């Protein structure tokens, strides 16, 4: 904590480990623990680069460089993690400090999860992605509405849209069911959303001649397969080159080389 870091404690919930943001993501979990540990447990004031900053309960002042030094995570990775925490509405970041490298980070719903009344805590609910309040917009910036051919509006996450568009257009069928399966895979911790997008783009488990539909690709866990797209395309190119007839100039050059070798007395069996 900011005031008396060697005193007291903060609460974390086991269900956080099952959240797709933290599952198999130890760096993200480490940054999150540091944020809630360094957050002020009561209103306080701190001097930052010569400027007095007022902090409310659940707030801290930190920079990417500071968090990188505290956690051992690279600054680029810190930037990505903070962005994901903001998108999941776990934190809010503002920058009223004169030093542009520092910012005030607010832990969303800090009161709800760090209240001293243990019996009042919702132990069966995840720590992040809380119910929207007046300070938190109910519109998720990471989702977009898509109008179907039937005129219905369906909402999908932006990362799923990237996953969906990575498949050939003619194979994109059963989008709602594919989206439900996509969310199921991510929530189970089998793979992150970004991992699924990257696997499709790399061609994992996708035969370029017979690409699977997204639903089948997810059901068969093909993100764990070896990339097939680039290798198959390279093999096709090699085969097409081998089957291509030899140019006339190359045949003439080879015959001239053989005649020259015979004139120089090179044994026949050594002439290519």
Q: Which burial class, exposed, middle or buried, applies to 260 when counting CB atoms under 10 A from its CB (0-12, 13-18, 19+)?
A: exposed
Q: Looking at per-residue confidence, does 130 or 150 come out higher?
A: 150
Residue 74, in any domain of the structure? yes
Query: What is the model's pTM?
Result: 0.41
The share of the chain scoring above pLDDT 90, in percent, equals 7
- Rounded CA-CA distance 81/135 in Å is 22
Are 70 and 106 found together in one domain? yes
Question: Which residues lie closer than 8 Å to 270 by C-beta, 6 or more apart?
Answer: 261
Q: How does residue 123 score in pLDDT terms, banded at 50, 70 and 90?
A: very low
Examine residue 138 and state whether it is found in any structural domain, yes or no: no
How do residues 65-109 score in pLDDT, each as one tens digit?
A: 888 888 888 888 888 888 888 888 888 888 755 555 678 889 888
Residue 174 backbone zone (phi > 0: left; psi -120 to 50: alpha; other: beta): left
pLDDT tens across 198-250, in order?
Answer: 888 888 888 878 889 999 999 999 888 887 755 555 555 655 656 667 778 77
Of 195, 210, 227, the position where a domain reaches its end is 227
The two tokens of residue 181 are: 């399966």
If asked whether residues 100 and 161 sit together in one domain, one would say: no
Q: 116 pLDDT exceeds 60? A: no
Residues 50 and 96 in one domain: yes
- Residue 216: its pLDDT value, please? 92
Contact status, residue 222 vs residue 206, Cβ threshold 8 Å: yes
Per-residue pLDDT tens digits for 135-192: 444 434 445 555 555 555 567 888 888 899 889 888 899 888 999 999 999 888 888 8
Three-state DSSP state, 263: helix
Residue 247: count of CB within 10 angstroms of its CB: 9
Identify the pLDDT of residue 126.
43
Does a structural domain hold residue 108?
yes
Mean per-residue pLDDT for 13-30? 75
Longest dimension (CA), the chain: 101
β-strands 51-55, 44-48: how paired?
antiparallel
Position 90 scores a pLDDT of 85
CA angle 24-20-218, nearest 5°? 95
Task: Say if 1 falls within a structural domain.
Answer: no
Domain count, the chain: 3
Return the pLDDT at 70.
85
Report the C-alpha gap between 48 and 237 in whole angstroms. Answer: 61
CA nearest neighbour of 40 among 6, 1, 97: 1
Residue 205's SS3 state is coil
212 and 242 fall within a common domain: no
- Considering the domain architecture, whether residues 113 and 187 belong to the same structural domain is answered as no
Q: What is the CATH number of the domain that holds 107?
A: 1.10.10.10
Q: Is residue 125's pLDDT more than 50?
A: no
Q: Which of 21, 50, 46, 33 is nearest to 104 (CA)?
A: 46
* pLDDT score at 137: 41
Q: Evaluate whether residue 220 is within a structural domain.
A: yes
- C-alpha dihedral sign at 218, 224, 225, 229: positive
Higher-pLDDT residue of 239 and 4 is 239
Across 27-31, 121-125, 196-200, least confident range: 121-125
84 and 65, same structural domain?
yes
Q: Are residues 21 and 113 both part of a single domain?
A: yes
Domain that holds residue 252: 231-270
* Segment 111-139 mean pLDDT: 49
Same domain (yes/no): 41, 79: yes
Do 101 and 197 belong to one domain? no
Domain identity same for 38 and 97? yes
Answer whether residue 133 is part of any domain: no
Alpha-helix residue ranges (DSSP H) falling in the chain: 26-38, 64-71, 75-87, 110-114, 158-165, 175-188, 193-202, 214-219, 229-243, 248-263
Residues 61, 39: Cα–Cα separation, whole Å:
8
Higher pLDDT, 210 or 24: 210
| Within-domain flag for 160 | yes
Q: Do residues 105 and 159 share a domain?
A: no
Mapped onto helix, strand or coil, the DSSP state of residue 265 is: coil
């Amino acid at each position: 904590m900011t005031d008396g870091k060697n005193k007291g404690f903060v609460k974390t919930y086991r269900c956080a480990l099952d959240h797709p943001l933290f599952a198999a993501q130890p760096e993200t979990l480490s940054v999150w623990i540091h944020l809630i540990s360094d957050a002020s447990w009561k209103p306080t004031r701190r001097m930052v680069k010569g400027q007095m900053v007022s902090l409310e309960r659940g707030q801290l002042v930190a920079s990417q460089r500071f968090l990188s030094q505290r956690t051992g995570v690279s600054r680029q990775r810190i930037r990505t993690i903070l962005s994901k925490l903001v998108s999941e509405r776990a934190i809010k970041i503002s920058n009223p400090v004169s030093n542009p490298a520092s910012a005030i980070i607010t832990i969303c719903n800090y009161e709800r999860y760090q209240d001293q009344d243990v019996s009042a805590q919702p132990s069966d609910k995840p720590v992040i992605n809380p119910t929207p309040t007046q300070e938190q917009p109910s519109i998720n910036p990471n989702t977009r509405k898509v109008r179907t051919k039937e005129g219905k509006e369906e909402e999908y996450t932006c990362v799923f849209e990237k996953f969906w568009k990575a498949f050939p257009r003619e194979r994109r069928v059963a989008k709602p069911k594919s989206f439900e399966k996509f969310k199921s895979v991510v929530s189970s911790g089998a793979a992150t959303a970004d991992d699924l997008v990257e696997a499709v783009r790399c061609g994992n488990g996708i035969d370029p001649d017979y690409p699977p539909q997204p639903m089948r690709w997810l059901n068969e866990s093909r993100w764990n397969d070896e990339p097939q797209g680039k290798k198959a395309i390279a093999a096709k190119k090699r085969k097409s080159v081998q089957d291509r007839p030899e140019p006339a100039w190359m045949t003439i050059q080879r015959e001239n080389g053989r005649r020259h070798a015979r004139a120089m007395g090179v044994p026949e069996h050594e002439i290519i």
